[in-house]
Amino acid sequence: MRVRGAVLRRMGLPKPYVDSRPLEIVDLELDPPRPGELLVRVGAAGLCHSDLSVIDGSRPRVMPMVLGHEAAGEVVGTGGDTPGFAEGDHVVLSFVPVCGACGPCRAGRAALCEPGAAANAAGSLLSGGRRWSEPGDGHQLHHHLGVSAFADHVVVAANSAVKVDPSLPAEIAALFGCAVLTGVGAAVNSAEVVEGDRVVVFGLGGVGLAALLGAKMAGAAEIVAVDMVEEKLEHARRLGATPIHAGEGVVEAVREATGGGGDKVIETVGNARVLAQAYEATRRGGTTVTVGLPHPEQRLDIQAVSLVTEERTLKGSYLGSCVPDRDIPKFVQAYQDGRLPVQELLTHRITLDEINLGFDRLAAGAAVRQAVIL
Ligand SMILES: NC(=O)c1ccc[n+]([C@@H]2O[C@H](COP(=O)([O-])OP(=O)(O)OC[C@H]3O[C@@H](n4cnc5c(N)ncnc54)[C@H](O)[C@@H]3O)[C@@H](O)[C@H]2O)c1
Ligand SMILES: [Zn+2]
Ligand SMILES: [Zn+2]
């Protein structure tokens, strides 16, 4: 079938993107789903910094690629052999397809699914196949993280989809696919925030604000929020956090606000220098969780001995250490109960044609989550 989607052919084009137009909105050919796959009509798709990092070249991927990885929509076809899914189901798409059978999957660590990671690196679906092609010459295009959210229809592995309550608006449901899964998961699963914790969040984009909401839901006694953008700090303050401006002296300021550092400190910026600050702003015996995705060449510079003598923990968190099937329904329930107000993350609604402008906004720190309404 013919589909309209946003294709990235070349990484590293200059800003502003409204002029260089890295994402081309074009007609694409989408092959029907094969066994184990779903055809999904996308309702809404969110703009995440990980998409921006592919556009600017700091997270290199195989080109050309139909970009986007945070989406929700409705199943409008199946290729058969998709137990549990039928036409009419509403689904959230998750950015790691989970095979359910490999070592990490069997150990409950779906974020580390081995065939899922291999497919994502290859820009294919979990089966190894690709369903996108150029209408003219039939050249195949790559899938982004098994989702390729920026298109009106997509074919995905059923292993990338989680069924949700159809009453959930698509623009809210989409947030659960990346920002909420990653941020709330980082707080609840990776940092294991418990009642009474002093929590610090570095970076207040979609992922960081979701981590803040997750920490609040888990009963944190105090949340300190760090960013360099005034509006983000104000947003965090309205959500009950103590705002602190990033930059010189930030570590001392956080230590002072928390009486010696956070018990759990969550970094969601994607910069090794900020991760070092987050580590230093962690209390003795505390845990630093890193979520941001720095350029692969960056190295981390921290005092090695403090890991030992201060019994600190430094851990990475991919996909919020979530099992999508288990955690998306749990987080949706918390949203529906009013314990997790994820609508706070959504600052803009845009059309597919406005997507380059949307990425300029994200790069400038002028938006949290922007939903492309499809
Ligand atoms: N681990 C995962 O599974 C996963 C999933 C999604 C996104 N990510 C990564 O998480 C990061 C955040 O994603 P996002 O979509 O929320 O991005 P975003 O651009 O919306 O947010 C990043 C925030 O960091 C702030 N910031 C910049 N420099 C800072 C500094 N020195 N100190 C404090 N704050 C600073 C920005 O102002 C912005 O508010 C990105 O690196 C993204 O690639 C990781
Ligand atoms: Zn993302
Ligand atoms: Zn697996």
The structure tokens 């499809």 sit at 374
Neighbours of ion ligand 2 (CB under 5 A): 48, 50, 178
State in Å: Cα 10 to ligand 3 middle: 31
**C-alpha to C-alpha distance for 128 and 316, rounded to whole angstroms:** 27
Would you state the structure tokens that stand for residue 24, as one six-digit string? 């081309």
Using DSSP, how many helices (H) and how many strands (E) does the chain show? 13, 18
| Identity of the amino acid at 335 | Y
**C-alpha to C-alpha distance for 200 and 216, rounded to whole angstroms:** 11
Report which of 139, 129, 133, 144 is spatially closest to residue 59, judged by C-alpha positions: 144
What is the structure's pLDDT at 195? 98
Q: Name the 3-class secondary structure at 166.
A: coil
Does a structural domain hold residue 27? yes
Are residues 185 and 294 both part of a single domain? yes
Instruction: Identify the residue whose C-alpha is closest to ligand 1 atom 2.
Output: 318
> CATH number of the domain that 43 lies in?
3.90.180.10
Question: pLDDT tens across 130-178, in order?
Answer: 999 999 899 999 999 999 999 999 999 999 999 999 999 999 999 999 9
| Contact indicator for 347, 364 with CB cutoff of 8 Å | no
Residue 37 CB contacts under 8 Å (≥ 6 apart), including other chains = 78, 79, 82, 125, 127, 131, 155, 156, 157, 158
DSSP state of 50: H
Question: pLDDT tens across 216-264, in order?
Answer: 999 999 999 999 999 999 999 999 999 999 999 999 999 999 999 999 9
Are residues 216 and 134 both part of a single domain? no
**C-alpha to C-alpha distance for 337 and 309, rounded to whole angstroms:** 42
Are residues 17 and 145 both part of a single domain? yes
Q: Show the domain range for 113.
A: 2-177+341-373
Are residues 165 and 238 both part of a single domain? no
Give the DSSP H or E segment for 237. helix 230-238
Mutate to test the pocket of ligand 1, among 291, 319, 347 (most ligand atoms within 8 A of CB): 291
Does a structural domain hold residue 326? no
| Identity of the amino acid at 52 | L
Length reported for the chain: 374
Does a structural domain hold residue 232? yes
How crowded is residue 270: how many other Cβ atoms within 10 Å of its Cβ? 23
Report which of 275, 363, 255 is spatially closest to residue 315, judged by C-alpha positions: 275
How crowded is residue 339: how many other Cβ atoms within 10 Å of its Cβ? 13
Are residues 142 and 165 both part of a single domain? yes
Angle at 249 between CA 247 and CA 250, to 5 degrees: 60
**C-alpha to C-alpha distance for 288 and 286, rounded to whole angstroms:** 7
> CATH number of the domain that 289 lies in?
3.40.50.720
On the 0-12 / 13-18 / 19+ scale of CB atoms within 10 A, 77 is: middle
Does a structural domain hold residue 324? no
Are residues 305 and 365 both part of a single domain? no
Does a structural domain hold residue 330? no
State in Å: Cα 96 to ligand 3 middle: 9
CA-53 nearest atom, ligand 1: 43
**C-alpha to C-alpha distance for 118 and 146, rounded to whole angstroms:** 11
Would you state the structure tokens that stand for residue 185, as one six-digit string? 């998961």
CA-362 nearest atom, ligand 1: 19
Are residues 247 and 116 both part of a single domain? no
What is the structure's pLDDT at 305? 98
Name all residues whose Cβ lies below 6 A of ligand 1: 48-50, 53, 178, 182, 202-208, 226-229, 232, 246, 268-270, 274, 291-293, 317-319, 362, 365
CA-246 nearest atom, ligand 1: 32
Residue 365 CB contacts under 8 Å (≥ 6 apart), including other chains = 205, 227, 228, 229, 232
Instruction: Identify the residue whose C-alpha is closest to ligand 1 atom 22.
Output: 205
State in Å: Cα 145 to ligand 3 middle: 14
Are residues 286 and 209 both part of a single domain? yes
Number of domains observed in the structure of the chain? 2
**C-alpha to C-alpha distance for 19 and 22, rounded to whole angstroms:** 9
| Contact indicator for 371, 346 with CB cutoff of 8 Å | yes
| Identity of the amino acid at 364 | A
Instruction: Identify the residue whose C-alpha is closest to ligand 1 atom 21.
Output: 205
CA-367 nearest atom, ligand 1: 20
> What's the sign of the alpha-carbon dihedral 351, 352, 353, 358?
positive
Low pLDDT (below 70) residues in the chain? none
Question: pLDDT tens across 169-190, in order?
Answer: 999 999 999 999 999 999 999 9
Are residues 280 and 355 both part of a single domain? no
Predicted structure pTM score: 0.98
Mutate to test the pocket of ligand 1, among 55, 96, 293, 342 (most ligand atoms within 8 A of CB): 293
Are residues 134 and 81 both part of a single domain? yes
Does a structural domain hold residue 335? no
Are residues 146 and 210 both part of a single domain? no
Does a structural domain hold residue 367? yes
Instruction: Identify the residue whose C-alpha is closest to ligand 1 atom 38.
Output: 205
Are residues 31 and 161 both part of a single domain? yes
Does a structural domain hold residue 336? no
